[in-house]
Amino acid sequence: MRSFYQYKDKPILFAHRGMNSFAPENTLPAFQLCIENNIPAIELDVHLIKSGELVVIHDFSTKRLTNKDYKIESLTLTEIKQLDVGIHKDEKFKNTRIPTLEEVFQTFSNNLLYDIEIKSNVIKNKELCQKLWQLIRKYKLEFNVIVTSFNPMAIRTFEKISNHSLLEGIIYSKDKSVPFYLRNGLGYKLFQCNIAKPAANLINESTIQNFMEKNIQVLPWCIDDEKTAIELVSKKVFGIITNVPEKLIKTNLFKQ
């Protein structure tokens, strides 16, 4: 059993989409490897699909993982479960499927901590936020989940639905896909967030200090080298999201 309240003395290590170097990203095998390697937390992405379920996948299209170009939010769960997202990684992962968020919660329960990123083409997406909050409560994971998004309106919607019950945060980067007015973390000013998630190339000492003065925790992504991880841990970040959790967990910088 894990809880965010257990992690006050050391920052938390989050596996970006699970242990994606060894298993297909955002799948049950990738998350299971975290359990087996004492990685305490995972970062994952959720979409609301046509038939009403929340599914775990990063992209808005299935093309990169399946070579079949479908818009994920236009599919039903039956259609999604026909897609193989494992064979592109390795033959041994053939027939690996896109999981629902409920399947993830059923499988791992409170044995993991979760950073759930809301993905949506709808600005507020009240239905997605309602269903996310219902699942978190159903599986009693209020102390195991933080909810984040690039979209501050989605976070504001979730915040109202959940009555400020969870840790919530704004993700930002200077990627061209991010609206220019959200590229420097300005989204946090639109609501009272607890966490800021800057991209690795936007994190520095003054950024961390600025957020901490506002009582906002800092969770940078993706930090994949030990030197940077050591520097950030010394500055008391909330945690680190990485593509190489198997490497950074050996540094003893993080609580297992």
- Asked if the structure places residue 238 within a domain, the reply is yes
- Asked if the structure places residue 92 within a domain, the reply is yes
Sign of the C-alpha dihedral, residues 123, 125, 129, 135? negative
Report the C-alpha gap between 169 and 150 in whole angstroms. 9
- Asked if the structure places residue 42 within a domain, the reply is yes
- The residue type found at 76 is T
Degrees, nearest 5: CA angle 21-83-147? 60
pLDDT (0 to 100) of residue 116: 98
- Beta strands, E only, 49-206: 54-56, 113-118, 145-149, 167-172, 195-198
Report the C-alpha gap between 190 and 239 in whole angstroms. 23
Report the C-alpha gap between 154 and 244 in whole angstroms. 29
Cβ 80 vs Cβ 55: under 8 Å? yes
pLDDT (0 to 100) of residue 181: 65
pLDDT (0 to 100) of residue 249: 94
Report mean pLDDT in 10-residue bins for the chain, 256 residues: 76 97 98 97 98 98 96 98 97 97 98 97 90 98 96 92 93 80 67 88 91 92 96 94 96 81
Tokens of 131: 């269903």
Residue 227's CB is within 10 A of a number of other CB atoms, namely 8
Tokens of 101: 């968020």
- Asked if the structure places residue 53 within a domain, the reply is yes
- The residue type found at 191 is F
Report the C-alpha gap between 50 and 201 in whole angstroms. 36
The DSSP code for 99 is P
Report the C-alpha gap between 151 and 235 in whole angstroms. 27
- Asked if the structure places residue 209 within a domain, the reply is yes
Q: Report the number of distinct structural domains present in the chain.
A: 1
pLDDT (0 to 100) of residue 73: 97
pLDDT (0 to 100) of residue 2: 81
Q: What is the CATH number of the domain that holds 95?
A: 3.20.20.190
- Asked if the structure places residue 256 within a domain, the reply is no
pLDDT (0 to 100) of residue 9: 76
pLDDT (0 to 100) of residue 186: 66
Full residue range of the structural domain in which residue 88 is found: 4-251
Report the C-alpha gap between 238 and 251 in whole angstroms. 17
Cβ 17 vs Cβ 98: under 8 Å? no
pLDDT (0 to 100) of residue 190: 67
Report the C-alpha gap between 158 and 116 in whole angstroms. 12
pLDDT (0 to 100) of residue 189: 67
Beta bridge partners of 12: 239
